């Protein structure tokens, strides 16, 4: 019976907080902020659906630690001087029916669209290689030590602000090719100083951020890290590197490591790699999580390709404590509730298989974002959206949001 499944059993996190069940809404950037990069009515409407979806935890889409460096148009930013009331309302909505509210915090580093006219900084001045789409991205500048300390301070300040606004915790985004991943990967971090070279040096920024967040926030404030199990690019961040980082995070008392993988260049989080690794068709990173589980006591969560209860349950049986769901919850926000009523209910993850893999990846994201916007407008979601039309609508929306944010 579904309600007796381990998926619906509570779990006590190392910080002492209990998650009521194992199902977590993973971060999805919404690109739906109100003026000033603040949460507003559309985001509130969207998160009301998830708040009532019987999830254990809801992780927000990534919130930027620096308003001048945004991952995309219509993003949310939280800095030390940002007004907290809109964030307080956001946290209250997420928590209104018993789910924990965790804010994902992020810095894009070099993954900044040129049109956004933002700050593109990176450990080394290595531009993105997206083939013919590379020109869409800004050329990054190599960070000074001062820049690195500034970024660390910003992550810590944003975490503190999230706590003040009523969030139960933060998830530090160190996956998917954003700034902290750029430090971790030898492909993007070619520094010769204390921030580059060995994995200890490449992980220094992440470790400093985590230990300072732990120091300034309450003991029962949840601290999570989203980490790539690998870059899935030749000579990139390896699984051995990931094991080393996880060991260090464990020593700092991190509550959960969410395992994902890839970057804009190699979107493994969508099941595509750029080395010869083949990922499972469902629960892409479960094999990595299973291999890691024997080497660490840190609670693990894995996200990617999960849309069926049976698969989600297997994730727990194979050593993870939590299961992350993203795209499937964009189309069926109450999937956790549906599984309780009908165990075999299959969530839908839209899939576009165009030959141009970069374009297909954009269309897959566009189809999901279209659903998020529909929910934000209190409209029903579409089970079978057209990839082309979704891409066109997404481009128009992004153009409008870019114009608003840049001016």
Ligand X SMILES: Cc1cc2nc3c(=O)[nH]c(=O)nc-3n(C[C@H](O)[C@H](O)[C@H](O)COP(=O)(O)O)c2cc1C
User: In this chain, which of 368, 375, 391, 401 binds ligand X, going by CB under 6 A?
Assistant: 368
Question: Minimum CB separation from ligand X for residue 377, in Å?
Answer: 16
Which residue bears the tokens 């974002």? 369
Query: Whose CA is closest to 60, among 208, 173, 207, 156?
Result: 173
Does position 305 interact with ligand X (CB under 6 A)? The reply is yes
Which range, of 9-17, 172-180, 181-189, 386-394, touches ligand X by CB under 6 A?
172-180
Q: How far apart are CA 71 and CA 377, in angstroms?
A: 23
- The smaller minimum CB distance to ligand X, of residues 26 and 77, is found at 26
- The smaller minimum CB distance to ligand X, of residues 140 and 267, is found at 267
Residue 324 CA from chain centroid, whole number: 10
Question: Minimum CB separation from ligand X for residue 307, in Å?
Answer: 7
- The smaller minimum CB distance to ligand X, of residues 62 and 185, is found at 62
289 neighbors 229 (Cβ within 8 angstroms)? yes
Question: Minimum CB separation from ligand X for residue 63, in Å?
Answer: 9
The pair of structure tokens assigned to 119 is 């700050």
Question: Minimum CB separation from ligand X for residue 349, in Å?
Answer: 6
- Interface pattern 250-279 for ligand X (x via CB under 6 A): ----------x--------x----------
Q: How far apart are CA 251 and CA 253, in angstroms?
A: 6
Residue count, binding to ligand X (CB under 6 A): 25
Which residue bears the tokens 């479960």? 286
Query: Whose CA is closest to 329, among 25, 44, 86, 115?
Result: 25
Question: Minimum CB separation from ligand X for residue 50, in Å?
Answer: 13
The pair of structure tokens assigned to 48 is 């009301």
Quote the DSSP letter at residue 347. P
- The smaller minimum CB distance to ligand X, of residues 74 and 304, is found at 304
Touching ligand X, residues 23-62 (CB under 6 A)? 26-29, 61-62
Q: What is the DSSP string of 226-291?
A: EEES---STTSS-HHHHHHHHHHHHHTT-SEEEEE---SSS-GGGT--SSS----SSSTTHHHHHH
User: In this chain, which of 5, 228, 303, 390 binds ligand X, going by CB under 6 A?
Assistant: 303
Which residue bears the tokens 């059993």? 9
How many C-alpha atoms does 383 have within 13 Å on its Cβ side?
Answer: 3
The pair of structure tokens assigned to 29 is 């950037």
- The smaller minimum CB distance to ligand X, of residues 151 and 349, is found at 349
Which residue bears the tokens 């000033």? 36
Length of the chain, please? 407
Question: Minimum CB separation from ligand X for residue 98, in Å?
Answer: 22
Q: How far apart are CA 345 and CA 365, in angstroms?
A: 23
- Interface pattern 211-230 for ligand X (x via CB under 6 A): ---------------x----
- Interface pattern 96-135 for ligand X (x via CB under 6 A): --------x-------------------------------
- The smaller minimum CB distance to ligand X, of residues 7 and 269, is found at 269
- Interface pattern 59-78 for ligand X (x via CB under 6 A): --xx----------------
Question: Minimum CB separation from ligand X for residue 145, in Å?
Answer: 27
Q: Which residues of the shown chain bind ligand X in the complex (CB under 6 A)?
A: 26-29, 61-62, 104, 173, 175-176, 226, 260, 269, 303-306, 325-328, 349, 365, 368-369
């Amino acid at each position: 019976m579904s309600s007796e499944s381990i998926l619906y059993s509570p779990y006590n996190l190392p910080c002492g907080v209990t998650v009521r069940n194992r199902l977590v809404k993973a971060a999805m950037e919404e690109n739906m902020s109100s003026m000033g990069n603040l949460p507003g009515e559309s985001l509130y409407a969207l998160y009301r659906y998830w708040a009532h979806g019987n999830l254990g935890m809801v992780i927000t889409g990534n919130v930027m630690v620096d308003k001048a460096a945004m991952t995309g148009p219509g993003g949310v930013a939280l800095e030390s001087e940002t007004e907290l009331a809109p964030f307080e309302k956001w946290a209250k909505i997420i928590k209104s029916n018993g789910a924990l509210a965790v804010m994902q915090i992020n810095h894009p580093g070099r993954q900044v669209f040129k049109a956004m006219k933002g700050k593109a900084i990176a450990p080394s001045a290595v531009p993105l290689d997206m083939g013919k789409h590379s020109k869409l991205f800004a050329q990054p500048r190599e960070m000074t030590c001062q820049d690195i300390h500034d970024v660390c301070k910003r992550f810590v300040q944003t975490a503190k602000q999230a706590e003040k606004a009523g969030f139960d915790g933060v998830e530090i985004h160190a996956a998917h090719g954003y700034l902290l991943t750029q430090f971790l990967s030898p492909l993007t971090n070619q520094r010769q100083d204390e921030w580059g070279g060995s994995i200890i040096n490449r992980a220094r920024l992440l470790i400093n951020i985590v230990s300072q967040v732990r120091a300034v926030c309450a003991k029962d404030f949840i601290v999570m890290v989203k980490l790539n199990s690998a870059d899935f690019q030749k000579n990139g961040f390896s699984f051995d590197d990931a094991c080393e980082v996880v060991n260090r995070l464990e020593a700092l008392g991190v509550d959960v490591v969410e395992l994902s993988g890839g970057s804009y260049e190699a979107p493994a989080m969508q099941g595509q790699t750029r080395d010869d690794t083949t990922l499972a068709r469902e629960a892409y990173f479960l094999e990595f999580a299973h291999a890691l589980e024997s080497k660490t006591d840190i609670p693990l969560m894995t996200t990617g390709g999960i849309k069926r209860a049976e698969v989600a349950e297997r994730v727990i049986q194979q050593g993870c404590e939590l299961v992350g769901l993203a795209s499937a919850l964009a189309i069926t926000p109450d999937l956790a509730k549906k599984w309780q009523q009908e165990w075999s209910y299959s969530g839908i993850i839209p899939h576009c298989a165009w030959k141009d893999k970069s374009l297909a990846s954009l269309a897959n994201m566009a189809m999901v974002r279209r659903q998020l916007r529909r929910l934000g407008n209190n409209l029903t979601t579409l089970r079978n959206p057209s990839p082309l039309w979704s891409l066109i609508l997404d481009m128009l929306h992004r153009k409008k949001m870019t114009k608003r944010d840049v001016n």
